[in-house]
């Protein structure tokens, strides 16, 4: 997770998820998602990259819209983060996982996990 702040002391918390879905003897199918977390809101998917190694095919998305070039995706992300500066934080290992996209998770479980995530984020800012 990285933390960014602008001059108005507004924070952006970015985290990266990576999943592998198996594949065949030539490679796997991978999904990389960059999330932004803001207090009291659901994590927002900023970037999604789907990569299929056997076919060497990738799909790139920025804020849900398909992007056709890696360089363009980088430019869009840079523009999105304009005015924000990365700040150093003390990293710690979290042994808890937060289920973001599990369909069967109840609203109560989702709320509880988001509350735990927000509490962890607040601890980072208070330090």
Residue 42 is predicted with a pLDDT of 81
Residue 81 is predicted with a pLDDT of 93
How much is the pTM?
0.64
Give all strands (DSSP E) within the chain, no chain letters: 2-5, 11-24, 27-37, 44-52, 57-62, 65-67, 85-87
Residue 66 is predicted with a pLDDT of 95
Domain spans, the chain = 2-90
Residue 85 is predicted with a pLDDT of 93
Number of residues assigned to the chain: 127
User: Can you say whether the dihedral through the CA atoms of 74, 88, 123, 5 is positive or negative?
Assistant: negative
- pLDDT tens for the chain, residues 1 to 127: 788 899 998 888 888 888 777 666 666 778 889 999 877 778 899 999 988 876 677 899 999 999 999 899 999 999 999 999 998 776 655 555 555 556 667 778 878 877 877 777 777 665 5
107 to 17, 19, 98, 116: CA distances (angstroms): 21, 23, 13, 14
102 to 12, 52, 66, 97, 111: CA distances (angstroms): 24, 22, 23, 12, 13
CB 36 within 8 A of CB 12: yes
Residue 103 is predicted with a pLDDT of 60
Residue 121 is predicted with a pLDDT of 72
Placement of tokens 């990259």 in the chain: 49
């Amino acid at each position: 997770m990285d933390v960014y702040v602008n001059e108005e002391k507004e924070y952006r918390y970015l985290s990266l998820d990576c999943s592998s879905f198996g594949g065949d003897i030539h490679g796997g199918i991978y999904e990389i998602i960059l999330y932004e977390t803001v207090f009291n809101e659901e994590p927002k998917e900023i970037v999604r990259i789907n990569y299929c190694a056997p076919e060497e095919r990738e799909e790139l998305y920025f804020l849900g819209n398909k992007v056709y070039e890696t360089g363009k995706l980088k430019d869009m992300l840079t523009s999105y983060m304009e005015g924000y500066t990365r700040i150093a934080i003390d990293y710690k290992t979290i042994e808890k996982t937060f289920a973001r996209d599990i369909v069967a998770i109840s609203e109560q479980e989702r709320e509880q996990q988001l509350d735990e995530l927000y509490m962890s984020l607040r601890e980072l800012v208070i330090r």
